[in-house]
């Protein structure tokens, strides 16, 4: 391939380069307006969820009778990665995770077929619900609250939901809107008098309240016949006929039962400022633009019609578009400052017009990068913006190489056409090779699997897009512009320029050349010194001076409260405690010097369910929780843990609380915590092991939020049928079904009313649902005989579990804790616990460990990282071997990479930052960038060698000759990332380790390329000569051994 013709065409054509530049800019502008804007990259979750409700069943019953049966049927289907089961009171769930790349339509069909084939699900459980998990992005959340009855508040919330979905919101989840039910409560005494069971009444109500199609009447006029009897209101249900006596007198249901409309037991209601409230979570599909849809919602809310009643408010919080715009603004600000620093560096080293045209080339290449991103189905997010900032220096590198070479030729007296054409042709293959090595370094990042791979994907994709754009700009647009600049250049320079050029050349040809001469003359001392420095860097890591944290998350702006009273506590008491906690939080706000609402954006309470990750999900009237949103961490002077401690101290607690937990909620990818998953068939044994492990964690400083995911629940009354009961025909299933009807209610009918499903439930009143009332409850035998429950069943009490988890066929328990990275290192705590404490606990309780905990994600990352590094290094080596025509010299060039990693470690130590997952990902990408300068230096050395210069002289002066170019390419990358490395905003902290890695790694590489690599190249030549000498001696020795001892020796005694 000869690129000279294409380069010549664009250089000599008057407008070709400008037309291409205009097209690139227009395509970039279109892409910027079209690309989706979101906080994080898209995540694909190849998973299917199976839900089976079983009203009234305990977590243990659900686990053994439902989840175990589901898991057994689906575990070994094709493509499954892991299966996790979750059982809690009244419901069982199965989460089936598939491997990336699985055909999910086929997988869903196979799961549905497997579930449909199960015949052992218990009677009374509902039909399994099978659905594929779909991930939506949060837009914002709304809270509608006020002093209205719940039905009125529901009507307003549903109207807002429907109107928002009509305007393009993809999904709206509502919290605090309880399901409506009609309860038919019949006292046990009435049931005995009527000689009926609750199931009998439920069946009668279901039959009486029905609409039945009855066919068509044919004849002269066809008519449709319908039997109408369905009642949709409590009054109508009360008027249903329960039975008719021999005289035709009807007994109405309302005469023996209390029929009223209420809400489903155990459902969650919202609370805000002492008033009922409903929360609407607005979500968009993954391919939507967050900022655009937020604008639509804002416009709707501003003109909300019809207006709400007095006292009713709609409040907006958790606006993700605000966070996105803040992050984009922060990164753009860093990019602008980085670009200004890059231009300043270029201006110092190059002529002003060269600096100007390089700047134009960089901006044009960035514009077309957005167009390539659009083709590659990327979006504008945190990772893609960081990649763009990182690659600004790479774009400059290519342009600098061509422009600096063209300037050099022009200074020798060449005409502008010849200067730029020859410079572009001469540097085409070195620049292309550098681009290929960079792609080889970033490309293997696409091999990363799972969530980590999805999160990191924009980095290599954008890097590859930038490299492609840079090649177009560097060889098709920049040369033509350089030619025009050279034509107008009068060769005169300012005094400042002349002073700089004089001192630069003096430094390059004097002290710097002598330094290279010394390093190459003492090459083995130079190499030994570099190895010693690298070992010091490794020692900083091994000695704990530089810590490793897998993926720390920045401080968020959410606090959670979870409170659990003793079971049986009325919901009103829980509501009173939540109101007190809300008032206490506003008192803390005032004490910290804020006006009401300045620090606290939102406080939303939940009655009936826990929230957040500090506790496993628990439901019940005795449970309450609260979510609190504060202003962004960078906008306040007080840290979230300090505010939370003051909130906890200010809150007055009511009697009867079993557990109350204040916790902070961190957002983002990864986390600063530790966790282990234990396995045993007995959940009570797991609980004992968990308590001991939690006690161990409590001894470490900086550890908080220690918890497990196997919470204790309500005490259980366990029933066992006595021999007398068995003789009467009672079975566990028969007794359980009659009791479930009595306590949870027998479902008579479900019907649609508007957009809601209403359940008619026949049950005992609360006054009959006591332990003594339970013993006096009458059971009906298969023969129709009624007996007291206590006469045929034994009762005993045991502690209950609120939730049980399964993983890959075994019961599991996970222990979690948060670690403050400023106090302790999570990796060090994990290592010490696993070495000193965990084995003893496992042996004591007979539990084993399931690696599907936090360590599995780390293990997968390290496996993917090592595989990616090996692929990247192999690809870079092959490219270098092709360029250099040698298999030995690339080793000397690539030796720069491990030494630069040592520089990155020193950088983290100097900056007081931990090494993170993102640091190591940056090392992978940096490896390709590091060898780019080496390629230019080796090219210069080879040209001198080909011209007949001695090897040592060619190495020394070839490296010195490239000082300006190497310094420029390194400094542009360093200064481009410097503002981000020094960024103090908390939301940028997970990107700072990446910037540190590039800045210090590439800074170290600059020195290594110019001093260490020449020494390494000559050491390779020494090795080649040494091996040649050894090979010659071995050949001579072989000939001597193979000689004929009797042969006469040559008279001169010399070698033959």
**Whole-angstrom Cα distance, residue 448 to residue 863?**
9
The answer to whether 770 and 187 have CB atoms below 8 angstroms apart is: no
Closest CA to 284 of 527, 118, 38, 94: 38
Structure tokens that stand for 392 in this block: 């600004």
Q: What does the block give as tokens for 1015? A: 């020494």
Looking at the predicted structure, is the pLDDT value of residue 980 above 50? yes
> How does residue 1055 score in pLDDT terms, banded at 50, 70 and 90?
very low
Residue-level pLDDT at 2: 64
Question: pLDDT for 900-926, tens place per residue?
Answer: 888 899 998 998 888 888 888 888 878
pLDDT at residue 319 is higher than 80: yes
Which H/E stretch holds residue 571?
Answer: helix 571-591
- Residue 30: pLDDT band with limits 50, 70, 90: very high
Beta strand pairing call for 80-88 and 313-317: unpaired
In this predicted structure, the answer to whether residue 1052 has a pLDDT above a threshold of 70 is: no
pLDDT of residue 813: 85
More confidently predicted of 582 and 441: 582
The rounded percent of the chain whose pLDDT value lies above 90 is 8
CB 434 within 8 A of CB 398: yes
Among 1013, 1002, 875, CA closest to 393: 1002
How many C-beta atoms surround the C-beta of residue 955 within 10 A? 27
Q: Would you say 373 and 465 are in contact if contact means Cβ atoms under 8 Å apart? A: yes
Say which residue, 233 or 554, is predicted with more confidence.
Answer: 233
pLDDT for the residue numbered 280: 92
For 34, half-sphere exposure in the C-beta direction (CA atoms, 13 angstrom radius) is: 15
pLDDT in tens, 885-903: 778 778 877 888 888 888 8
Three-state SS for 499?
helix
More confident call, 227 vs 691: 691
Residue ranges of alpha helices (H) inside 885-962 are 889-894, 896-911, 917-946, 951-961
Percent of the chain with pLDDT over 70: 93
pLDDT over threshold 70, residue 271: yes
Give the separation between CA 806 and CA 445, rounded to whole angstroms.
33
Please give the average per-residue pLDDT across 288-309, as a whole number.
Answer: 85
Predicted confidence (pLDDT) per residue in 848-867, tens digit: 887 655 556 677 778 888 88
Terminal Cα-to-Cα distance of the chain (whole angstroms): 49
Length of the chain: 1056
Check residue 815 and report its DSSP letter.
E
What structural domains and CATH numbers belong to the chain? 4-34+323-487+858-1024 (1.20.1640.10), 45-134 (3.30.70.1430), 180-213+227-263+716-798 (3.30.2090.10), 555-665 (3.30.70.1430)
Please say whether the beta carbons of 280 and 171 come within 8 A: no
Rounded Cα distance, 684 and 694, in Å: 15
User: What's residue 214's pLDDT?
Assistant: 56
pLDDT at 1054 exceeding the cut of 60: no
Q: Residue 270, class by beta-carbon neighbours within 10 Å (0-12 exposed, 13-18 middle, 19+ buried)?
A: buried
CA 586-590-594 angle, to 5 degrees, is 110
The answer to whether the beta carbons of residues 934 and 959 sit under 8 Å apart is: no
pLDDT-derived band at 435, boundaries 50, 70, 90: confident
State the Cα–Cα distance between residues 783 and 789, nearest whole angstrom.
Answer: 16
Reported as half-sphere exposure (CB side, CA atoms, 13 A), residue 596 has a value of 7
The H or E element containing residue 239 is: none
Contact 622, 660 (CB under 8 A): no
Tokens of 443: 């490309």
Instruction: Give the integer Cα–Cα distance in Å for 839 and 624.
Output: 37
SS3 839: helix
CA distance 491 to 486: 9
Q: Left if phi > 0, otherwise alpha if psi is -120 to 50, otherwise beta: which for 419?
A: alpha
Of residues 815 and 742, which shows the higher confidence score?
815
Q: With bands split at pLDDT 50, 70 and 90, how would you rate the model's confidence at 281?
A: very high
Residue-wise pLDDT tens digits, 353-386 = 778 888 888 888 888 888 988 888 888 887 888 7
Over its C-alpha atoms, the chain yields an Rg (Å, rounded) of 38
What φ, ψ does residue 795 adopt, rounded to 5°? -120, 135
Nearest alpha carbon to residue 465 among 335, 371, 372: 372
Q: Would you say residue 669 has pLDDT above 70?
A: no
Q: What is the pLDDT of residue 278?
A: 92
User: What is the number of other CB atoms lying within 10 angstroms of the CB of residue 992?
Assistant: 21
CA distances for 731 relative to 100, 202, 735, 746, 931, angstroms: 47, 22, 6, 19, 78
Cα–Cα distance between 612 and 507 in angstroms, integer? Answer: 62
Rounded to whole angstroms, the Cα distance separating 386 from 335 reads 9
pLDDT above 60: residue 225 = no
Categorize the per-residue pLDDT at 1056 as very low, low, confident or very high, splitting at 50, 70 and 90.
Answer: very low
Among the listed residues 999, 968, 1005, 970, the one whose alpha carbon sits nearest the alpha carbon of residue 982: 999
The whole-model pTM stands at 0.75
- Which is it for the CA torsion 113, 118, 124, 125, positive or negative? negative
Reading the block at residue 1035, the tokens are 């050949």
How would residue 266 be classed by pLDDT, with cut points 50, 70 and 90? confident
The token pair that represents 718 in the structure block: 């366990």
- The 10s digit of each residue's pLDDT in 459-507 is 888 888 888 888 888 888 888 888 877 777 666 666 777 788 788 888 8
For residues 711 and 720, the answer to whether their CB atoms sit within 8 Å is no
Model pLDDT, residue 651: 92
Sign of CA dihedral 22, 26, 27, 31: positive
DSSP state of 246: T
Q: How far is CA 758 from the centre of its chain?
A: 38
Q: Whose CA is closest to 734, among 128, 69, 199? A: 199
Please list, in sequence order, all residues whose beta carbon lies within 8 angstroms of the beta carbon of residue 876, skipping any fewer than 6 positions away: 437, 440, 441, 890, 894, 927, 928, 931
Question: Quick count: other Cβ atoms within 10 Å of Cβ 808?
Answer: 15
DSSP state for residue 948 in the 8-state scheme: T
Q: Which residue has the higher pLDDT, 71 or 135?
A: 71
Beta bridge partners of 511: none
Question: Is 667's pLDDT higher than 60?
Answer: no
What is the distance between the alpha carbons of residues 551 and 903, in angstroms, rounded to a whole number?
21
Question: Cβ neighbours of residue 53 under 8 Å, at least 6 residues apart?
Answer: 90, 91, 125, 126
> Mean pLDDT lowest for which of 122-131, 170-179, 428-437, 853-862?
853-862
CA 788 to each of CA 188, 719, 954: distance values in angstroms, whole numbers, following the listed order: 12, 14, 105
């Amino acid at each position: 391939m000869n690129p000279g013709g294409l380069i010549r065409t664009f250089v000599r054509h008057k407008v070709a380069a400008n037309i291409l530049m205009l097209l690139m800019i227009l395509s970039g502008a279109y892409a910027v307006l079209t690309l989706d804007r979101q906080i994080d990259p898209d995540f694909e979750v190849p998973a299917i969820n199976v839900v089976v409700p079983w009203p009234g069943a305990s977590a243990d019953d659900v686990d053994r009778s439902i989840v175990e049966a589901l898991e057994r049927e689906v575990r070994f289907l094709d493509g499954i990665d892991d299966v996790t089961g979750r059982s809690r009171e009244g419901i069982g769930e199965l989460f089936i995770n598939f491997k990336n790349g699985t055909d999910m339509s086929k997988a869903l069909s196979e799961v549905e077929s497997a579930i449909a084939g199960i015949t052992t699900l218990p009677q009374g459980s509902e039909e399994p619900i099978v659905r594929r998990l779909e991930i939506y992005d949060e837009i914002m959340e709304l809270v509608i609250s006020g002093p209205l009855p719940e039905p009125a508040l529901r009507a307003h919330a549903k109207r807002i939901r429907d109107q928002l979905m009509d305007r393009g919101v993809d999904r709206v989840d509502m919290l605090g809107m309880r399901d409506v039910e009609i309860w038919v409560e019949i006292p046990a005494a009435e049931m005995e008098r009527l000689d009926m069971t609750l199931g009998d009444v439920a069946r009668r109500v279901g039959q009486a309240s029905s609409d039945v199609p009855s066919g068509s009447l044919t004849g002269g006029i066809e008519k449709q016949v319908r039997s109408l009897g369905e009642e949709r209101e409590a009054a109508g249900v009360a008027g249903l006929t329960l039975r008719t006596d021999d005289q035709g007198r009807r007994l109405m249901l309302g005469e023996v039962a209390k029929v009223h409309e209420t809400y489903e037991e155990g459902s969650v209601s919202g609370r805000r400022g002492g008033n009922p409230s409903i929360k609407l979570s607005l979500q968009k599909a993954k391919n939507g633009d967050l900022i655009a849809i937020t604008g639509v919602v804002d416009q709707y809310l501003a003109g909300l019609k019809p207006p709400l009643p007095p006292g009713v408010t709609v409040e907006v919080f958790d606006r993700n578009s605000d966070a996105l715009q803040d992050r984009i603004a922060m990164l753009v600000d860093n990019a602008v400052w980085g670009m200004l620093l890059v231009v300043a560096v270029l201006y110092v080293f190059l002529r002003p017009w060269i600096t100007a045209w390089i700047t134009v080339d960089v901006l044009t290449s960035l514009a077309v990068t957005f167009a390539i991103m659009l083709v590659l189905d990327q979006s504008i997010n945190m990772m893609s913006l960081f990649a763009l900032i990182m690659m600004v220096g790479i774009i400059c590198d290519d342009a600098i190489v061509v422009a600096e070479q063209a300037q050099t030729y022009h200074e020798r007296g060449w005409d502008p056409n010849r200067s730029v054409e020859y410079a572009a042709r001469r540097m085409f293959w070195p620049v292309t090779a550098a681009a290929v090595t960079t792609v080889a370094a970033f490309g293997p990042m696409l091999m990363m699997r799972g969530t980590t791979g999805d999160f990191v994907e924009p980095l290599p994709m954008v890097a590859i897009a930038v490299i492609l754009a840079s090649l177009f700009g560097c060889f098709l647009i920049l040369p033509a512009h350089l030619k025009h600049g050279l034509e107008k250049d009068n060769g005169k320079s300012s005094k400042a320029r002349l002073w700089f050029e004089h001192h630069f050349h003096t430094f390059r040809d004097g002290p710097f050349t002598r330094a290279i001469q010394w390093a190459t003359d003492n090459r083995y001392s130079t190499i030994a010194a570099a190895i010693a420095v690298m070992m010091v860097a490794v020692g900083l890591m091994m000695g704990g001076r530089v810590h490793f944290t897998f993926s720390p998350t920045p401080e968020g702006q959410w606090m959670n409260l979870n409170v659990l009273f003793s079971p049986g506590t009325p919901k009103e008491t829980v509501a009173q405690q939540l109101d007190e906690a809300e008032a206490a939080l506003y008192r803390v706000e005032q004490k910290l010097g804020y006006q009401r609402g300045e620090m606290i954006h939102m406080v939303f309470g939940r009655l009936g369910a826990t929230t957040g990750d500090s506790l496993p999900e628990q439901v019940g009237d005795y449970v309450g929780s609260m979510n609190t949103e504060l202003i962004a961490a960078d906008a306040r002077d007080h840290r979230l843990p300090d505010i939370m401690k003051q909130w906890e101290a200010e809150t007055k607690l009511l009697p009867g609380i079993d557990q109350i937990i204040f916790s902070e909620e961190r957002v983002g990818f990864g986390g600063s915590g530790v966790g282990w998953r234990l396995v045993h068939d007995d959940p009570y044994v797991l609980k004992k092991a968990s308590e001991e492990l939690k006690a161990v964690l409590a001894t470490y400083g900086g550890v908080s939020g220690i918890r497990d995911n196997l919470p204790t629940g309500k005490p259980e009354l366990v029933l066992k049928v006595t021999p007398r009961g068995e003789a009467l025909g009672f079975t566990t299933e028969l007794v359980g079904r009659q009791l479930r009807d009595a306590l949870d209610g027998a479902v008579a009918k479900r019907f649609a009313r508007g957009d809601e499903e209403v359940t008619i439930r026949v049950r005992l009143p609360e006054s009959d649902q006591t332990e003594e009332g339970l013993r006096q409850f009458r059971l009906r035998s298969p023969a129709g005989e009624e007996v007291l429950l206590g006469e045929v069943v034994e009762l005993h009490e045991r502690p209950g579990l609120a939730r049980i988890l399964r993983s890959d066929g075994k019961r599991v328990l996970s222990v979690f804790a948060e670690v403050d990275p400023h106090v302790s290192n999570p990796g060090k705590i994990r290592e010490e616990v696993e070495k000193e404490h965990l084995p003893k606990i496992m042996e004591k309780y007979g539990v084993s460990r399931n690696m599907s905990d936090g360590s599995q994600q780390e293990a997968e990352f390290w496996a993917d990282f090592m595989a990616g590094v090996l692929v990247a290094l192999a690809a870079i080596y092959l490219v270098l071997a092709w360029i250099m025509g040698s298999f030995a010299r690339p080793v000397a060039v690539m030796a720069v990479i491990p030494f630069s990693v040592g520089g990155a470690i020193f950088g983290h130590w100097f900056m007081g930052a931990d090494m993170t997952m993102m640091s190591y990902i940056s090392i992978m990408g940096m490896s390709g960038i590091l060898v780019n300068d080496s390629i230019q230096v080796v090219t210069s050395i080879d040209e001198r060698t080909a011209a007949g210069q001695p090897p040592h002289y060619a190495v020394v002066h070839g490296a010195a000759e490239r000082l300006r170019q190497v310094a420029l390419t390194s400094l542009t990358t360093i200064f481009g990332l410097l503002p981000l490395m020094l960024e103090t905003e908390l939301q940028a902290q997970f990107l700072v380790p990446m910037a540190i890695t590039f800045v210090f790694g590439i800074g170290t590489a600059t020195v290594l390329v110019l001093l260490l690599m020449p020494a390494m190249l000559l050491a390779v030549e020494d090795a080649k000569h040494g091996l040649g000498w050894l090979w010659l001696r071995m050949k001579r020795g072989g000939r001597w051994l193979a000689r004929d001892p009797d042969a006469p020796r040559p008279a001169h005694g010399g070698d033959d």
